Amino acid sequence: MLRALSRTPLCPPRGPCSSVTPGSSMAAVAPLKPLVAVAQVTSTPDKEQNFAACAGLVREAAQRGAGLVFLPEAFDFIGRDTAQTLSMAEPLDGDLMGRYARLARDCGVWLSLGGFHERGHDWATTQRIYNCHAVLDHDGRLVAAYRKAHLCDVELEGRVSMRESSFTNPGPELVAPVPTPAGKLGLSVCYDLRFPELSLALRRAGAEILTFPSAFTVPTGSAHWEVLLRARAIETQCYVVAAAQTGQNHERRVSYGHALVVDPWGAVVAQCREGPGLCYAEIDLQYLHRVRREIPVFGHRRHDLYGIVEAAGLAPAP
Active site amino acids:
73, 148, 190
- Residue among 265, 261, 223 nearest 40 (CA): 261
Burial bucket for residue 80 (CB in 10 Å: 0-12, 13-18, 19+): middle
**Residue 118 pairs with which residues in a beta bridge?**
90, 130
Residue 162 in contact with residue 154, Cβ under 8 Å? yes
Residue 103 in contact with residue 69, Cβ under 8 Å? no
Q: Give how far Cα 50 sits from Cα of 105, 179, 193, Å.
A: 19, 28, 25
Residue 203: CB atoms within 10 A of its CB come to 26
The sign of the CA dihedral 212, 213, 216, 221 is positive
Residue 182 in contact with residue 283, Cβ under 8 Å? yes
